Amino acid sequence: MNRCQDRLKSWLKDNYPYLVGLGLLVFVAYFNSLNNAFVADDIPGILNKENITEVSYIFATPLVLARTFLNFTIANIFGRSPAAFRTVNILFHLGNVWLLYLLLYILADRKTALFAAAILAVHPLLTESVTWIAGGLYAQYSFYILLGLVLYILFDEKQNKKLYYGSMISFALALLTSEKAMAFPFLLLALEIAYQGLKKNWERLIFPFVLGGTWILFFVGKISERQTILQNTYYQTSQTNDALAQIPIAIASYLKLIFWPQDLTLYHSEMSFSAIEFYSHITICLVFLGLLVWMYKKNKPAFFWLSFFVIALAPTLAPFGVSWIVAERYVYLGAIGIFVVAAMEVKKIGERLSNPNISYIILVPIILALTARTIVRNLDWKNQDTLWLATAKTSPSSPQNHNNLGDLYGRRGDLERSAEEFRKAIELKPGYADAHHNLANTYQQMGRIDEAIENYQKAAELNPQLWQSCQNLAAIYFEREEFELAKKWLEKAQETLNAGVGR
C-alpha cells in the first residue's frame, strides 16, 4: 500500500502542473455559467420537486439511485440553488478531464493525454451536459465509466483484484446513474482487442457482460413503459425508427458538431433532408466505418478510440423510438473517442515535421476558439427566455420550442404573439395537448372565451391526464352560470386527480 501511495504521490508531483492547467481551462470555459438559472427540466425535476429533500425521493426511482442520492444530498446541504447543482456538474466534468488525462498517460503518452484532455475541457458540444443541470447525469455516468476503465487498466498492470472490484463497482454506479452505461462491457471488449488480446483475458469480461446484459434485458422490458411516458408527456408517436436512416444521420450529425460546433441547440428538430443531404450523411457514416475497419488493421489504439465513439453512442442509436435522433448530451462520452484520435493526429504532425512545437501551434488556436464558443453557448442557458430564443434560431420547426416561446411572450404580455406561437406548435404537432391548453389560457386572457373553451376541450380530449383543462372549463362554465357543465368538468378534473395521474 505504501508503495502505491508513493507512486501516486510521485505521479502527481510530475503531473500537477498539467492537472492544474486543465482545471483552469474548465474554470475559464464554465465560470460564466455558475449564476445561470434553472431551465427546462430543471424546474419540475429540482425546483418544483416537493420531496427532493426527503429520503423517499431517493428510492422513488431506484434504477437511478446514484443520481437521485446526489440531488437529495445537494438539496439538503445547499438548498435548491442552481449554482450548487451546476457546480457539481462542473466538478464531474473536471473529473472526466483529469481521468482522460490519466487514462491516456497510461495507454499513450503525456502529450496525447494533454491534447485530448484540453479539448474535452472546453469543447462547446458538451455544454448541454455541464451547464444544463438536468443534462449533468451524462457527465456523471461518464465519470464512473472513465474511472472504471482506469481501474481496469491498472488492475491489468498490477494484477490487484481490488482494482478489478473497484472497476466493477464504478460500472454499477454508472448504471445507477443512467442505463446508457450498459455500453461499458463493450468498451472493455474493444480495449482488450486493441491493447491486450481477447484470448488471454476473456474471463475477466464475464461479470461486466452479465451485469450489463441483465440491465439491457430489463431496459428492453421497460421500452413500452417509456414509450407511454413519451406519448403522454411529449406527445411522441409510439413507433420504432428506421435504423438505416437514424444511425447514419445521428453519426454524421455528431461528427459535424464535433468538428464544427456552430448549430448547437436543445432541440435538434431539423431532421428533414433533401436526397443529396441524406446521402451525404450516409456517405460520412460509411467513410467513418471504413476508417474504423482500416484502423483495426493498421493502428489498434486509433481503432479503440474510434470504436469508443460508436460504442458509447450505441444505447441512443437503438431504433426503439425512445430517444431523440440527435441530442448533444447523448454524445458527451462518445465524443471523447474522437477527441483522442484528433489529439493523436495533431501530435503526429509535429513528429513528422520534426518540430514538436508545431503541435502546440496547431492546438492552441483551436482550444481558444472552442473555449470562446463554450463561453458564448453558456449565455444561451442563462435563463428560460435566453434558452428559448437561442433555440428558435437553430430549431425553427420544433413544436416544443414554439410552445415555450408562447409561454415567453405570454409572460411579457404580448398575447397576440403568444397565441401565434402556440398555434404554430399545434400546426407542427396536431396532437400537442399542452399547446392547446396554453393557447386556451391565452385566449381566455384575451377575452376570446369561446375559442378558449374549444381549445380546453381539445386538450382534455387529446390528453385525459390534463386535469387543468377540465378545471379551467369548470371555472368558465361556473362564471357563465352553466352549473351542470361546470359540475361535469369539475368532476372530471377530480377523477383524474384521484386516479393519481394528475400533473
Q: What is the residue whose three cell numbers read 449564476?
A: 35
Which one, of 238, 66, 230, 193, lies nearest residue 141 by Cα?
66
**Residue 231 confidence (pLDDT):** 55
**What is the DSSP annotation of 311-359?**
HHHHHHHSSSSSS-S--GGGGTTTHHHHHHHHHHHHHHHHHHTT-THHH
Residue 475 burial by Cβ neighbours in a 10 Å radius (0-12, 13-18, 19+) = middle
| CA–CA dist 419, 94 (Å, integer) | 43
**Inter-residue contact 128 to 140 (CB < 8 Å):** no
SS3 73: helix
CATH architecture type of domain 398-498: Alpha Horseshoe (1.25)
C-alpha cell at 330: 447523448
What integer pLDDT is reported at residue 320 of this predicted model?
58
Find cell 463561453 and name the residue: 375
The pLDDT assigned to 233 comes to: 56
d(CA 117, CA 105): 11
The residue written with cell numbers 475541457 in the block is: 121
201-205 CB contacts, 8 Å cutoff, 24+ apart? 201/156, 204/164
Smallest CA-to-CA distance from 457 within 479, 501, 427, 488 is with 488
CATH 1.25.40.10 domain extents, the chain: 398-498
Phi, psi of 398 (to 5 degrees): -85, 115
Contacts of 9 (CB under 8 A, 6+ apart): none
**Can you give 208-272 as a three-state secondary structure string?**
HHHHHHHHHHHHHHCHHHHHHHHHHHHCCCCCCCCHHHHHHHHHHHHHHHHHCCCCCCCCCCCCC
CA 369 to chain centre: 23
Which residues are CB-neighbours of 365 under 8 A, at least 6 positions away? none
Q: Which residues are within 8 A (CB) of 175 and not within 5 positions of it... i.e. 6 or more apart? A: 181, 182, 211, 212, 215
Query: Could you list the pLDDT tens digit for every one of the 503 residues in the chain?
Result: 556 666 778 888 899 999 999 999 999 999 999 999 999 999 999 999 999 999 999 998 888 999 999 999 999 999 999 999 999 999 999 999 999 999 999 999 999 999 999 999 999 999 999 999 999 999 999 999 999 999 999 987 777 899 999 999 999 999 999 999 999 999 999 999 998 777 778 888 999 999 988 888 877 666 665 555 555 555 555 455 666 778 999 999 999 999 999 999 999 998 888 889 889 999 999 999 999 999 999 999 999 999 999 999 999 987 655 578 899 999 999 999 999 999 999 999 988 888 878 999 999 999 999 999 999 999 999 999 999 999 999 999 999 999 999 999 999 999 999 999 999 999 999 999 999 999 999 999 999 999 999 999 999 999 988 999 999 999 999 999 999 999 999 989 888 877 654 34
User: What three-state secondary structure class fits 52?
Assistant: coil
- Grid cell 394528475 in the structure block, residue: 502
pTM: 0.93
